Amino acid sequence: MDIEKTVDIKYEDANLDERIIRAVSELGYEVMTPIQKEAVPVMLNGSDLIGQAQTGTGKTAAFGIPIVQKTDPSSEKTQALILCPTRELAIQGAEEIRKYARYYSGIRVLPIYGGQDINKQIRSLRGNAQIVVGTPGRVMDHLRRHTIKLDALKVMVLDEADEMLDMGFRDDIVSILSDIPGEHQTALFSATMPKPILQITKDFLKEDAVFVKIPSKELTIPLVRQYYYEIPKGMKTDAVSRLLDYYNPARTLIFTNTKRMADELTEELTGRGYFADTLHGDLTQQQRDHVMLGFRSGGTEILIATDVAARGIDVDDVEAVINYDIPEDIEYYVHRIGRTGRAGKKGRAHTLVVGREIYKIRDIEKYCHTRIELRRIPAYEDVKASKADSILDQVIGIASGEDLSDMIPIIENRMYDCEITSLDLAAAFLKKAMGNTGSGAADEDFITYGSVDRKTRKKAYSEKHKKDAHAFSGFNKKKIRSRDLNLDGSVKTGKKKDKNKNRSRYKKGK
């Protein structure tokens, strides 16, 4: 079924146990998300489920709440197994399900994943966890050791199934699903539905499985404003700096297609004074944990990641996503921008486009049934004004809300000693607080043929051609080449050679 109804359903109206309603209420949740509204009743009824929903839409609650309600605390056997693609998602999923089960006595939720001492996990499993959340590889290890037994399993969940297949877990998933001996319920959740996923649903889910899908028009999340910028080659880093300075997001995720580019961009941005760090497959688990801790705590404001390394990132307060490189696979675009615009908050997705990459934007728009708006890179004066407004708003807030009586004499004495006006002093404070307001590139450097209208292009050309005529030669019908310039950079003038003159003499001579 497609989710098209907009009628809100409260948790207390969803036939849920009072203990779950109490736990959910304390978490501040009131109304079910679309995927929860459709999936929870299906899960409670025991039917198999296929759910197409994006990361950040409340999928964990969609299967976690019914699992808690259906778990028998008096039985110490494993009754629910949830597979996740990454360690981070396994930990976060287990923590969230524990919150729903906080008023149940005797329900134990355990995450298991690679990178942790397996002997420690074996000891924890001996404590009899009814709900296990784990990564496919580590679950397979425990099945081989018989430290996890599935003979009493009631519910099997595949979360982020497309991500698990992309990471090479298909064989493990098939093996785990094949090893479940008894009758059970299976639920599969995925942001996309490629053929391998559909094959798994055909092989392991019942024929009457319910298919719940968020309409494709909502795949990219309505709260995310999507923009793209056509820029010249070699100007990407400067463009990123302008966007960061202008919008000033508290947390930003920047995606690159390669590990090398992630490292280079991180080095470039940190050199410009930004608090940036990188996340890619070459990092050890300890390094990865350290990077994610910094990003979650706010010590790192900008995280630059590859698509593979970003799997499992689940941070709600990401205000902006920047696609430094357009993803090779359109489906990755959905995953990328789904990192922002969560929990009812608005977000922005910025995509940098060079040359013929504009056709990839059109493909994304068709696939996602969305429109990505063309924008210009903010001008230097716009960035400066934006920074000044932000700083002045903070200062005015302090001036109106705090006691400054002990500061005023200090300012008065310094003004008297230095013979400076209060206006000059305030301007100096503002200049110091603003720091570097430019990316080092001139405004006209960001102009490309497709990024602005014809009038603006001609104006930019007339202002710039004396310095660098060939850079905007595509804007006029006549191409200006280096041999058409004088030594000072101006365009040569004079009589044109008659190309037909020699030709006519040649004919006469013949």
187, containing H or E segment: strand 185-190
d(CA 427, CA 291): 37
Residue-level pLDDT at 217: 45
> Which of 197-206, 357-366, 480-489 comes out lowest in average pLDDT?
480-489
Band of residue 218 on the pLDDT scale cut at 50, 70, 90:
very low
Band of residue 454 on the pLDDT scale cut at 50, 70, 90:
very low
Residue-level pLDDT at 438: 54
Q: Is residue 148 within 8 Å of 78, Cβ to Cβ?
A: yes
Q: CB under 8 Å to 206, separation ≥6 — which residues?
A: 47, 48, 186
Question: Where do runs of H (alpha helix) occur along 27-133?
Answer: 34-45, 59-70, 87-100, 118-125
Distance set, CA 181 to CA 151, 153, 154 (Å) = 6, 8, 11
**What tokens were used for 213?**
């899908």
The answer to whether residue 51 scores a pLDDT higher than 60 is: yes
Nearest to 262 by CA among 280, 249, 246, 248: 280
The answer to whether residue 145 scores a pLDDT higher than 90 is: yes
Residue-level pLDDT at 466: 45
Band of residue 221 on the pLDDT scale cut at 50, 70, 90:
low
Higher per-residue confidence, 449 vs 387: 387
Render pLDDT for 84-129 as a digit per residue (tens, 0 to 9): 998 888 998 999 999 999 999 999 999 999 888 899 999 999 878 9
Count of alpha carbons within 13 Å of 446, Cβ hemisphere only? 24
Task: Give the mean pLDDT of 402-428.
Answer: 85
Residue-level pLDDT at 268: 94
Cα torsion 471, 472, 474, 480 to 10°: value is -70
Q: Is residue 393 within 8 Å of 433, Cβ to Cβ?
A: no
Q: CB under 8 Å to 211, separation ≥6 — which residues?
A: 1, 50, 52
Residue carrying structure tokens 């921008």: 337
Q: CB under 8 Å to 54, separation ≥6 — which residues?
A: 191, 214, 219, 221, 334, 335, 338
Q: Is residue 372 within 8 Å of 227, Cβ to Cβ?
A: yes
Cα torsion 417, 418, 421, 426 to 10°: value is -110
Interhelix angle 18-26/59-70, nearest 10 degrees: 150
Task: Give the mean pLDDT of 339-364.
Answer: 83
Render pLDDT for 30-45 as a digit per residue (tens, 0 to 9): 778 788 999 999 999 9
Residue type, 170: R
Chain mean pLDDT for the chain: 82
Task: Give the mean pLDDT of 283-312.
Answer: 85
252, containing H or E segment: strand 252-256
Could you state, in order of their start, the residue ranges of all structural domains in the chain? 11-214, 219-452, 465-505
Residue-level pLDDT at 494: 56
- In the chain, pLDDT over 70 holds for what percent of residues? 80
The answer to whether residue 7 scores a pLDDT higher than 80 is: no
368, containing H or E segment: helix 358-368
**What tokens were used for 457?**
């292009």
Band of residue 390 on the pLDDT scale cut at 50, 70, 90:
confident
Q: Is residue 93 within 8 Å of 133, Cβ to Cβ?
A: yes
Say which CATH architecture domain 11-214 belongs to. 3-Layer(aba) Sandwich (3.40)
Render pLDDT for 234-273 as a digit per residue (tens, 0 to 9): 899 999 999 999 998 989 999 998 888 999 999 999 998 8
Residue-level pLDDT at 8: 72
Band of residue 476 on the pLDDT scale cut at 50, 70, 90:
very low
Pick the CATH number of 219-452 from 3.10.20.580, 1.10.3720.10, 3.40.50.1820, 3.40.50.300: 3.40.50.300
Residue-level pLDDT at 343: 60
Q: CB under 8 Å to 117, separation ≥6 — which residues?
A: none
Residue type, 75: S
Phi and psi of 256, rounded to 5°? Answer: -120, 165
Residue-level pLDDT at 281: 77
The answer to whether residue 510 scores a pLDDT higher than 50 is: no
The answer to whether residue 464 scores a pLDDT higher than 50 is: no
One fold for both 11-214 and 219-452? yes
Residue-level pLDDT at 5: 46
d(CA 110, CA 19): 20
Residue-level pLDDT at 465: 46
CA 138 vs. chain centroid, Å, equals: 27
